[in-house]
């Protein structure tokens, strides 16, 4: 080990699952004696955890890999994750890369680094994720955030939406054993964390392969002393049944902040997308959540310009989004992904039309966000304080409410990782409340 170069720079792209895996790799590196340094010239090893969810993500992944190579031509450049997993059939992935580290092999990073010195040329460490594989058990005892911990509890997806490449690069659904999740929560509680965010590639599928359920896991995490808040990553609308909503509503630690993937509010478009619900079923899920939580923050994703999306279909989707009245709406222009069914569909929508539709929904989304935030003016909110920030030349303590609304207060005492009640008095700037303790 003494011959292995020790300064490692890390850069993560993509989702919260990727971020969790990167932090777990960083933790393993630190334990093994590596020094973590900024992503800048001077590192001996560069690790880029890549993403492939869109063409833009692919391009960013390539750019970061080439930037690493330029920063130190003699360094070891490791490309991990989804972008390189998607290139698994390529003989050579990219000249800038020394080690290709696929999904479900990230826990082997230390051994792979050590073994690399014994070989020559680009090394590919990939697993065939189209066959059944076991859950890769990465784990954390601390995270980059000091108050909020993300927990990866599930990997893979069985949905095969017609636009999505993720099932091919992440594989089939596999879940983390409940007791292993609970052990990690207890360890993080002991290290001072109070808020926990459960994440996965298709979180709603948690447990289907091991005889568990997401609700059962939530109930078990809820019982752990020291856990003050629980958030959920993206959910499929079909999981929001009356029973599920009522059970969530009975757990006071569950935050009223839910991300339900929509993608389109038009049933014809949803069918072509191979989304397995209707707009009416989606609306029912929103109704259930609003029944059991007071003014919950509902957020979503919408794709515009999906193949064959007519002006009438777009208008149906727009009206649906307006009717649901989300807190936040994340708009994505359809991006063709080689190997997916949607890529082969006729009726691809022109880029200018995608841009126009995107602008329409973004404008509406901003108005909805402002309206939702205004509903909290003058009200008491519970804030988990995280850090100080310079805003408009003043220093504030900032944090988030249970609905994940950003807040700021003027305070001379150290409020880090404290949960306090405050009154919303106005907007400090767009998207940030000013509050009075």
Residue 1 lies in a domain: no
Residue 2 lies in a domain: no
For 19, 52, 101, 157, 162, the CA distances from 82, given in Å and listed in that order, are 13, 6, 9, 13, 18
- Asked whether residue 112 falls in the same domain as residue 159, the answer is no
Q: Are 328 and 369 in contact (CB under 8 A)?
A: yes
- Helices and strands, number each (H, E), in the chain: 12, 18
- Asked whether residue 356 falls in the same domain as residue 408, the answer is no
Q: Are 11 and 120 in contact (CB under 8 A)?
A: no
- Asked whether residue 328 falls in the same domain as residue 349, the answer is yes
Q: Are 407 and 383 in contact (CB under 8 A)?
A: yes
- Asked whether residue 426 falls in the same domain as residue 341, the answer is no
Provide the whole-model pTM. 0.89
Q: What is the CATH number of the domain that holds 175?
A: 3.80.30.20
Residue 179 lies in a domain: yes
- Cβ-based neighbour number of residue 217 at 10 Å: 22
pLDDT tens digit at each of 437 positions of the chain: 445 568 999 999 999 999 999 999 999 999 999 999 999 999 999 999 999 988 889 999 999 999 999 999 999 999 999 998 888 777 667 888 899 888 888 999 998 888 887 775 567 776 666 666 778 778 777 777 778 999 999 999 999 999 999 999 999 999 999 999 999 999 999 999 999 999 999 999 999 999 999 999 999 999 999 999 999 999 999 999 999 999 999 999 999 999 999 999 999 999 999 999 999 999 999 999 999 999 999 999 999 999 999 999 999 999 999 999 999 999 999 999 988 999 999 999 999 999 999 999 999 999 999 999 999 999 999 999 999 999 888 899 999 999 999 999 998 899 999 999 999 999 999 999 999 99
Residue 37 lies in a domain: yes
362-376 burial code (b ≥16 CB/10 A, e <16): eebbeebbeebbeeb
Residue 130 lies in a domain: no
The closest alpha carbon to 264, from 234, 307, 295, 232, belongs to 307
Residue 279 lies in a domain: yes
CA distance linking residue 80 with residue 76, whole number of Å: 13
CA 392 from centre of chain: 30
Residue 299 lies in a domain: yes
CA 208 from centre of chain: 21
- Asked whether residue 231 falls in the same domain as residue 361, the answer is yes
Of the three residues 349, 374, 399, the one that is the final residue of a domain is: 374
Total domain count, the chain: 3
Domain that holds residue 307: 148-374
- Asked whether residue 335 falls in the same domain as residue 199, the answer is yes
* DSSP SS3 for 338: coil
């Amino acid at each position: 080990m003494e011959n292995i170069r020790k300064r490692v720079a890390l850069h993560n792209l993509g989702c919260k699952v990727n971020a969790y895996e990167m932090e777990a790799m960083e933790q393993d590196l630190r334990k093994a004696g590596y020094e973590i340094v900024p992503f800048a010239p001077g590192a001996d090893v560069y690790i880029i955890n890549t993403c492939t969810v869109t063409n833009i993500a692919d391009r960013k992944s390539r750019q970061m890999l080439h930037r690493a190579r330029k920063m130190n031509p003699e360094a070891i450049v490791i490309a991990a994750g989804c972008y390189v997993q998607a290139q698994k059939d390529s003989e050579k992935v990219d000249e800038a890369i020394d080690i290709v580290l696929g999904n479900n092999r990230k826990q082997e990073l230390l051994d792979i680094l050590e073994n690399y010195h014994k070989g020559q040329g680009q090394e590919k460490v990939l697993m065939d994720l189209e066959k059944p594989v076991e859950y890769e058990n990465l784990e954390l005892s601390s995270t980059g955030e000091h108050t909020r911990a993300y927990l990866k509890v599930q990997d893979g997806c069985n949905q095969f939406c017609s636009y999505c490449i993720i099932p091919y690069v992440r594989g089939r659904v596999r879940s983390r054993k409940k007791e292993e999740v609970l052990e990690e929560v207890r360890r993080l509680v002991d290290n001072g964390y109070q808020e926990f965010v459960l994440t996965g590639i298709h979180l709603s599928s948690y447990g289907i392969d091991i005889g568990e359920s997401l609700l059962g896991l939530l109930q078990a995490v809820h019982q752990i002393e020291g856990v003050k808040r629980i958030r959920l990553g993206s959910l499929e609308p079909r999981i929001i049944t009356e029973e599920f909503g009522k059970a969530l509503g009975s757990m006071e630690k569950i935050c009223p902040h839910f991300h339900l993937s929509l993608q389109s509010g038009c049933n014809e478009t949803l069918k072509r997308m191979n989304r397995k619900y209707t707009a009416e079923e989606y609306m029912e899920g929103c109704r259930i959540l609003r029944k059991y939580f007071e003014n919950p923050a509902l957020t979503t994703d919408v794709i515009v310009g999906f193949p064959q999306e007519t002006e009438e279909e777009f208008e149906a989707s727009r009206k649906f989004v307006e009717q649901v009245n989300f807190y936040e709406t994340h708009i994505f222009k359809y991006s063709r992904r080689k190997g997916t069914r949607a890529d082969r569909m006729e009726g691809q929508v022109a880029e200018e039309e995608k841009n126009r539709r995107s602008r329409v929904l973004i404008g509406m989304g901003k108005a909805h966000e402002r309206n939702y935030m205004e509903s909290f003016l003058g009200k008491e909110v519970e804030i988990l304080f995280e850090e100080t920030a310079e805003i408009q030349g003043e220093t504030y303590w900032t944090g988030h409410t249970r609905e994940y609304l950003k807040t700021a207060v003027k305070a001379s005492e150290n409020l880090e990782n404290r949960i306090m009640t405050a009154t919303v008095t106005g907007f400090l700037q767009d998207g940030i409340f000013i509050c009075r303790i």
